[in-house]
Amino acid sequence: MRMSIGTPPFEILAIADTGSDLIWTQCEPCSSCYSQNPPLFDPTNSSTYTDISCNSTECLSLEQTSCQKSCQYSVQYGDQSFSNGDVATETITFGSNTGQLVSLPETIFGCGHDDGGTFSPKGSGIIGLGGGKVSLISQMGSSIGGKFSYCLVPFSSSSSKSSKMNFGDSGMVSGAGVVSTPIVVKSPNTFYYLTLEGISVGDERLDLYNSSSTSDDYETSSEGNIIIDSGTTLTLLPSDLYDQLESAVRNAIPLKTVEDPAQMLSLCYSTEKDFVVPIITAHFKGADVKLNSLNTFVKTSESVICLAFIPSSDLAIFGNLAQLNLLVGYDLKKKTLSFKPTNCAQHS
């Protein structure tokens, strides 16, 4: 996602992440940053950059802060990537559908001076879109009416199109093919929780909870059992459901399997053999989302393709591969999330 920061505006490209809150970018001086291709933001060149004091309400509202001369943040992500730096306020600027620039003055953000992990050199940070206080969504406030959407362009797209985000009324998802599911309010409020009832491989349905459990047990154990996260690549499923899924996919693709060179994914095939990938459907409460091979398999080398799901004993996550070529809309006032199959490279 592209936006500009500072005065004069300095363009950055960052990961739009619905699974975290803080907006941050790598900043000069940066002795221990990961390598990035675009130039780093230099706060000394901006007339609107202001460090936040340690005893300010903004600093106290953040988790994992410390105090040096000013408020310091420290964030860590599920894949052990991390960022540490100064908490500041700054003017953030976006393009809009009308061509007019939209500015958000005094936006809380992090100026990262110590960052590392699995970040791509193409980008310079993270734009937190979660439900917490300091996320971009919360800081935009009533101006967007709790509505936003994005359409993730497949990595392999020959076009150089980047994924688009829309806010406010232009973030509404409507028309033919839209399905919607409730957003469940749970703690921590950073995450957007959905209810996954099961998965189908072709016509074979795999339910997350067996029919012998009582409806009360079902309700308490299933409501809000998965988060949707644009910042996580793979989809993480409860171990029982993952085992059923892997078994069903093995049956549907009866070819010899191969090892994943990265040793992360457990069901892989050689790309030298042509095979048909079955449609996998995610059954959310009230919304069946069909996933094709783009969403369900990932190339881990030139000759190996693997099922892009992994088992998890912790939080279940609907990751960004599963969301490719879907227009995904959030309506936080109505507490609904909508999916619409879309060619995201052509979506404006």
Write out pLDDT tens, residues 159-197: 567 788 899 988 889 899 999 999 999 999 999 999 999
The answer to whether the CB of 72 falls within 8 A of the CB of 85 is yes
pLDDT band at 218 (very low <50, low <70, confident <90, very high): very low
- Specify whether 249 is located in the same domain as 290: yes
- Specify whether 266 is located in the same domain as 176: yes
DSSP secondary structure of 139-173 = HHGGGGTTEEEEEBPPTT-SS-PPPEEEEGGGG--
pLDDT band at 216 (very low <50, low <70, confident <90, very high): very low
Share of the chain above pLDDT 70, in %: 95
Residue 338, Cβ density class (10 Å: 0-12 exposed, 13-18 middle, ≥19 buried): buried
- Specify whether 181 is located in the same domain as 282: yes
Domain count, the chain: 2
**Tens digit of each residue's pLDDT (9 = 90 or more) over 95-120:** 877 778 889 999 999 999 999 988 88
**Tens digit of each residue's pLDDT (9 = 90 or more) over 46-95:** 999 999 999 998 898 887 889 988 999 999 987 889 999 999 999 999 88
Is residue 295 in some structural domain? yes
Would the pLDDT of 235 be above 90?
yes
Q: Measure the CA dihedral 160/346/124/319, to 10°.
A: -120
Report pLDDT for 74.
94
Q: Structural domain of residue 188, as residue ranges?
A: 172-341
- Specify whether 78 is located in the same domain as 139: yes
- Specify whether 210 is located in the same domain as 334: yes
Q: What is the pTM of this model?
A: 0.90
Q: How far apart are CA 250 and CA 230, in angstroms?
A: 27
CATH of the domain at 289: 2.40.70.10
Computed over every residue of the chain, the mean pLDDT equals: 90
Q: Specify which residues 290 forms β-bridges with.
A: 281
**Tens digit of each residue's pLDDT (9 = 90 or more) over 118-162:** 888 888 999 999 999 999 999 998 889 999 999 999 876 455 677
Report pLDDT for 343.
92
Report pLDDT for 91.
97
Active site residues: 17, 229
- Specify whether 52 is located in the same domain as 128: yes
Report pLDDT for 90.
97
- Specify whether 245 is located in the same domain as 132: no
Q: How far apart are CA 246 and CA 253, in angstroms?
A: 10
